[in-house]
Chain A
């Protein structure tokens, strides 16, 4: 059975600091992986996705993620966080066409 683990429920960083959000997955086949962001009262927005190829994926808003098969991880990174990045972040694995299994999310707080 598939699973997605985001071990950090809540992370607080200072504006301008670097950020890494962790995601570990368990899936029987080759995973297709995603990171989404949800601002308060909003739907989800796709940050980036990994299907195959280069294991370092670039996304929108300056985010990137690295797929590490040996560690079953797909961590999200940003070199310098902006106050507008405060939101909830979800990692997800595809389990069927347009069917995503989401992690429980990591809430990011940014301190000025």
Chain B
């Protein structure tokens, strides 16, 4: 069974540009969550999608957005990039869609560098 796949794995952008990251969850998983990991702030929750609906959102500015498609694949977009957006962006999928948190299966992440 394939794991969570994130593309691209590495990318370099310049300030002011925008970026789109992709996440393919494990087959059958309908929940996709996104996290930002930085040395200074650690792991921070961005948002979670279930059945194409955003259910939860973390405390990030509106420049960070996401969506989920009918096949559960998800994308996140960051517009008007800032230096502080340099981070490892992790996607996690889960089978559980209720009120509890099921086991989150993480991808290896997309490492974004903003110059």
Chain A interface residues toward B at CB < 8 A: 32, 34, 36, 41-46, 49, 51, 90, 92, 94-105
Contact = CB atoms under 8 A, between A and B. Distances in A.
A43 B4 contact: yes
B43 A98 contact: no
Interface string B28-72: 000101010000001111001010000110100000000000000
Nearest to A51: B100
Q: Which of B4, B101, B103, B106 has the most CB of A within 10 A?
A: B101
Interface residues of B, number: 30
Contacts of B48: 96-99
A80 to B, nearest CB: 25
Interface of A: prevailing SS: strand
Nearest to B48: A98
A17 B107 CA distance: 31
B56 A99 contact: yes
B101 to A, nearest CB: 5
Contact of A97 (B35, B43, B55): B55
B82 interface: no
B108 A98 contact: no
B108 A42 contact: yes
Contacts of A105: 42-43
A31 B94 CA distance: 19
A97 B45 contact: no
